[in-house]
Structure formats: C-alpha cells, structure tokens
A and B are shown apart, each in its own frame.
Chain A
C-alpha cells in the first residue's frame, strides 16, 4: 500500500492535463466560430414537412381540425 500516493499524484496530474485540454478545446471551438449562430441549430429539426410552428402529434381520431399532413406522407414513395 506504499505506492498509492504516487498513483494518486499521477492521476491528479493527468486530471489537470485533461482539464487544461478541455479549456483549450473550448477556446479553440469558440475561436473557430463553432459557436457563432449557435441558436439556429435548435431549428434544424424542423423541415418542410414538419415545419416550425406546426404540432405533429395527436391522439388517434383527435387530430386538430385544419391540420395539414406533410405532403410527403400524402404522396408516399412507391417503393
């Protein structure tokens, strides 16, 4: 049990290295414009068929009046 303090020191050194690299990665990402216009990413799940502002799920038989199903489902692919 004599060596454990040595391995602890190594672990903490590695941890520090890890933390430093994490900080650097964040800095790199920011400076390479990865975080510009970031919020627009939240809108990428919306498409022409399931656009922003349209609800897409209802209980069977309780679909809201005026709900227009996505066009690609009205004309399904033929395969």
Chain B
C-alpha cells in the first residue's frame, strides 16, 4: 500500500467503474428514448415495431412551454421539491395509486423532455406528478399558495407564499382573478375595500402546477384498471 501509482489506479478505477456502470450505461440505455405514442406502430403482419410511433397519434411527453415553463423556475427557486415529489411508484408498492396520485407508474420516458428533473425525495406534502389532473382549479391553487391553511381545514404545515400576492385597493370593479377567501378564515381576508391579486409569479407557478398531468399512456406504462 506504499506505491502511489498503484494506489491511484485502484482509487480511480473504483470511481470510474461505478460511473460507467450507473451513469454511462443509463445514458446509453436512454439514448434512443423519444416521445412516443400510447402504443408502438404495427407492421404489416400485426407485430409491434418497438421504438416506432403510431401514425397520426399524439406523441408524449410534451415539454412545458410558456407560462408553465416560467412557473417551473419559480418552483425551483422556492425549493418546492424539498417537500413534494414528482414520481408515481408502481401499484402495490406504497399507496400512490390509492391516494390518487397517479393511475400509472412514471417511467424514464416521462421525464426526457424536462431540462431539470425534480423527482424529489421527501413527501412532507403530497406527490405532485398529477396535481394538474386532480386539482384542476386555478382558484384553488391560488388560495392554497396564499395560505395553505385555507384549503386544508387549518391543518397544513406548508409555508404561506403571501409575498407572491398583492393586496391592493379595489378599482372600479374587482379584478377577475382576485382571491375569494372563504368566510371561515376571517384572519386571511383582505381589509375592507381591498383585494388580493396574484402577481405574475403566482400566475406562472399555478400554470406550472396545472400543467403537471399524466393523462397519456406509454407503451411501457398503461393506466391501471
């Protein structure tokens, strides 16, 4: 154990070996993963052609664009990932299906168009992979972000993001997107004559959350019954 070059080689190879085995191999394996239709195309004999999309069917996944893409930057900046995951485990492993967090397992192909993958490792809050499917109201999301206790009977421990909202005097008429805080939460109501309006940042974040849907199938992952 005195020989520096030999020691160095051993140390180097241990790391290189794991890098090749874990990362290089998956990189190669993913190499030809492309957005795909729900089923592969069939050839003339009716056999499935792996890797070939069906004619005329939409390809999935689709990259988030526009306001939703901007909202993802907000999500990243606030560290939402540290309480919310974005992956659905297979049926029978955990209770992801039973909790309505998804009706199929998420697979590598679901993430190939994301520039930053935010799988998450803690579920202080629920998984968000399909939050756009199960909570499709922008109003709900705005109330929730403004103060999570409003939408959770006061039980949530999620931080309030009131700084993403503006409390301002009502103009000629109330803004169409002003928050409607239920009367059961008097402490969060705006003062009389004032309204709570989402800023651009809040609108983009909610657009991102609403874009998180798993409403398509892939050849390797089908909706469960």
* Interface residue ranges, A against B (CB under 8 Å): 1-4, 7-8, 11, 14-15, 18, 21-22, 25, 28-29, 34
Contacts and interface: CB of A to CB of B under 8 A. Distances in A.
Interface hub of A1, A25, A28 (most chain B Cβ within 10 A)? A1
Contact of B1 (A4, A7, A28, A29): A29
A73 to B, nearest CB: 30
Contacts of B25: 4, 7-8, 11
Contact of B50 (A1, A21, A29): A1
A1 B29 contact: yes
Contacts of B182: none
B17 A18 contact: yes
Contacts of A34: 1-3
Interface string B31-74: 11100000000000000001100000000000000000000000
B89 to A, nearest CB: 21
Given A4-B29, A7-B24, 8 more contacts: A1-B33, A1-B50, A1-B51, A2-B50, A11-B21, A15-B21, A18-B17, A21-B13
Given A29-B1, A29-B6, A4 B28 contact: yes
Contacts of B50: 1-2
B10 interface: yes
Interface residues of B, number: 19
A14 B3 contact: no
Interface string B7-21: 001100100010011
Contacts of B10: 22, 25
B96 to A, nearest CB: 24
Nearest to A14: B20
A3 B28 contact: yes
Contacts of A15: 17, 21
B183 to A, nearest CB: 55
B91 to A, nearest CB: 22
A14 B21 CA distance: 9
Contacts of B24: 7, 11
A1 B32 contact: yes
A59 to B, nearest CB: 36
B6 A25 contact: yes
A39 to B, nearest CB: 13
